[in-house]
Chain A
Amino acid sequence: EIVLTQSPGTLSLSPGERATLSCRASQIVSSTAFAWYQQKPGQAPSLVIYLTSNRAPGVPDRFSASGSGTEFTLTISRLEPEDFAVYYCQQYADSPSTFGQGTRLEIK
């Protein structure tokens, strides 16, 4: 199975700064079927990005994502207070689907 490794484990930034979260796959992801989720404490995870770069409904345009092969990136252009959360990547291009271990985005 494809192992996804997210980096960094924790990212400490201030509101207004730019956040770049990475997800590296152990082998080439065969299609664009790659997603990112946001999870706040005590809540279910919410889809942020699907098919590598498409924002889910209601997701603000400060969120963008890209990637291919083994390297995928989620960028938040200007952090708002509500963006501080844990983010997970998921590949659903190959069987079985797998998740990364998460990046905690915390307020500096």
Chain B
Amino acid sequence: GAVVSQHPSRVICKSGTSVKIECRSLDFQATTMFWYRQFPKKSLMLMATSNEGSKATYEQGVEKDKFLINHASLTLSTLTVTSAHPEDSSFYICSAKGGKDTEAFFGQGTRLTVV
């Protein structure tokens, strides 16, 4: 299957700082990327959907000013957690799909810890 690379895999940051997570499709053009948040032993909660060159569509309850998503190219999307707080600590996963494909490919996830 296609490869999606997510970086970093782990990050620890101080409260009040911003953190950027990258999601890259290595061997296909990702027209759509999804960002999820997963709490321990819980499901993946969709945060937002982004299409290349367009503004992201955020799910209800997700603060768009706090979780900035950029999908400027067909191979890269970024999620920036701004002014991070301990409650933002979580596992974040991206997935990407191309064109009319229905299968989404997942990154390895990023464990964010805010101290």
Q: Do A and B come from one complex?
A: no
- B-side residues, CB < 8 A to A, are none
- A-side residues, CB < 8 A to B, are none
